[in-house]
Structure 1
Amino acid sequence: MVIGAGAVGASVAAELHRAGADTLLVARGAQLAALREQGLTYVRPGGVHRLRIPVAAGPEEVELTETDVLVLATKSQDTAAAVREWAWRPVKRADGRTGVAATDLPLITLQNGLDNERTALRSFAHVIGGVVWIPATYLVPGEVVNHAEPVPAVLFLGRYPAGSDEVTERVAAGLRPGGFTVHVVPDITAHKAAKLLGNLLNTLDALYRPSALRDAVLAGARAEAAAVYAAAGITPATPDRGTFTSVEIPTHPQAGSSTRQSLTRSTLPETDFLDGEIVLLGRLHGVPTPVAAAIQARLHRALAEGTPAGSLDDADLRDTVPAG
């Protein structure tokens, strides 16, 4: 069961559905309406797939059993609400008794940032942290575009806070028929920290056109993150993604980072859990993070002012990021 029908969630559900896996996609709003009315248009480099994936609006429409696996693919700011919605739902056990999702079912977090697993662990006994590398786009309700080749995504999974177990291995085995490359790793936080370094481009991409200055600011943000990680005792992994890459689809140009896509749709991006995570760790460990804090604040002002995605220039960036 995939909770969250954006670019990541819909892509994962689409590939599992195409492979014949029993898949349910939980959606909301315009995406839910589109999926119910016309199904999912799933665009890949090899062609367009029209899929009728079973869909639900939420836990009230779902009867959970002990064989279910919950895959959380919402934006990070929606994690707490999703955990509250699903954790204490009844689960039908094979012996006729009733359990609850928080104790009976594993929860996989295919989300950015470092906060989701801790939030989930407050309720769920078995949390599997996940890192997903996927160049997917969701701009139009009912349509998701995935530019990945030669596989639809590369995933790293590990029991949170550390280690692996039989359940994690079973979940990984259940995902591989969807064509995903899935690695089970002993320290998932190290891989999530590495992904976050990459995600520090997201807000800059959402706000600013490419430039040498933007590249320099990104380098500064990553230097802040490295200092914060060192203070927090976090050593980022060096993930091996093999030959995985992103390719152009002539009919569907790439739309930039997930944060840029959110700004394009005028929805709240994950910035508070990307740049904002570095700011939080810096404040907790006494490490200054002026670049990350300035970028985080500029994104929220852009939302308030209705700034079009990618429309700001170097002059604005100089005014935004502290010199030095």
Structure 2
Amino acid sequence: MRVAIVGSGAIGLLYGGWLQSAGLDVVFVTRPGRQAALDGATLTAEGRLSFRLERVSAVGDVANAGSFDAIILAVKLYDLAAAAAQALPALAPAGALVAVQNGVSAYGILRPLLDPSKLAIGPVFAATRLTGSSSVAYAGADRVTLGNPECKVSPAVDELVRRWASVGVTAEIAEDIDDVIWTKFLGFATNAALTSLGRLPAGVVYHTPELVELAKQSIREVASVGRAEGIAITGDAEEMTLRILQSLPPATVASMRQDLDAGKRLELDFISGEIDRLGHKHGIATPLHSLAYRLLQPFRDGAPTAAPRA
């Protein structure tokens, strides 16, 4: 089985490395500037399921890399449509396109582009970071959950799950992937908004009484719009989300906060912006996420340029 990993950041390297460890032929598709550093390099991962791969393959353009039985899109949501359009010509007739992102927009972005039977989506559970051009570290769950909201996943997706499981990953096909994604989104969106707005880590945000109340409000807002979208989010899921956030390592910040600090483009439209949009759609007030969406707008496309003084 031949697999392309489009987006060779920390998640792409980790997921692809596990698959290569399981014996699959994996090609990492990355920016041309990174290709030289990654192609032929030793890839390592530090975490519970660590690995060391003496040599990996990387290309700068998936269109010139042959045909693939599975293409995994591990890119930011704002790059998802373009990445899929570039990758689809390389997908084998019986192949599968797999998108792994946190957020609730991936299926809607990809569904118009291909037959749904070829598509699978899933959230990301591991907290990852690059420690070098070909090294990654992760904490949290080594779990991969995939599914399709409309139909059964293809045999190619079943094989990916089997291979991940063979190296110790908790890998599964979810009967209701929307429920899994929205349950993860409760905490993901809350952590993104609060650690970005406050420029504070989890150890402060989720252990300061006044900020805990904001976290509860955020979770309620996400749950309310999710229920309006037809997702059966329970009160237990809301309570569990808060407990998970309070159990995070004290220095933890959301990936959007990391991008904010680095002056990079933000996934703002797909996090607080999506909650704000769905709130307006269903007539549900989402004051915290609406505020976060507006206050972070100047940073949406990267660090803003200071206005000249009069």
TMscore range, shorter length: 0.7 to 0.9
Change (3 A) 1:109 1:279: same
Contact 2:22–2:163 under 8 Å retained in 1: no
CA 1:268 to 1:40, structure 2 compared with 1: closer, same or farther past 3 Å?
farther
Q: SS of 2:137's equivalent?
A: strand
| Counterpart position of 2:303 | 304
Pair 1:162–1:221, CA change in 2 (3 A):
farther
Of structures 1 and 2, the one scoring higher in RCO (CA 8 A, sep 6+) is: 1
Q: Which residue of 1 aligns with 2:110?
A: 120
Counterparts in 2 of 1:45 and 1:148: CA distance versus 1, 3 Å: same
Deviation of 1:163 after TM superposition, in Å, equals: 4.5
Q: Note the alpha carbon deviations across 1:276-299, whole angstroms, 9 max, x for none.
A: 221121122121222112112333
In the TM superposition, what is the alpha-carbon distance from 1:224 to its structure 2 partner?
1.1
Q: Is the 8 A contact 1:43 1:145 kept in 2?
A: yes
Q: Tell me the TM-score normalized by structure 1.
A: 0.76
Rate the CA distance shift 1:171–1:42 in 2: closer, same or farther, 3 A: closer
Alignment of 1:86-125 (within 5 A): 86-87=87-88, 89-90=89-90, 101=92, 104-125=94-115
Q: Where does residue 217 of structure 2 map in the other structure? A: 220
Counterpart AA for 1:282:
G
**C-alpha root-mean-square deviation of aligned residues, in Å?**
3.2
Aligned to 2:283: 286
Q: SS of the counterpart of 2:104?
A: coil
| Matches for 1:64-213 after TM superposition, within 5 Å | 64-65=67-68, 68-87=69-88, 89-90=89-90, 101=92, 104-125=94-115, 126-138=118-130, 140-148=132-140, 153-164=142-153, 166-200=155-189, 201-207=191-197, 208-209=199-200, 210-211=204-205, 212=208, 213=210
Verify the 8 A CA contact 1:162 1:186 in the aligned structure 2.
no
Q: Which residue is 2:11 aligned to?
A: 8
Alignment-derived partner of residue 58 in structure 1: 61
Q: Distance in 2 between matches of 1:180 and 1:78?
A: 27
Instruction: Tell me how far apart the structure 2 counterparts of residues 179 and 107 of structure 1 sit (CA, whole Å).
Output: 23
Alpha-carbon contact 2:21-2:51 (below 8 Å) kept: no
Could you tell me which runs of 5 or more consecutive residues in structure 2 were left unpaired when the two chains were aligned.
none
What displacement does 1:159 show? 2.1
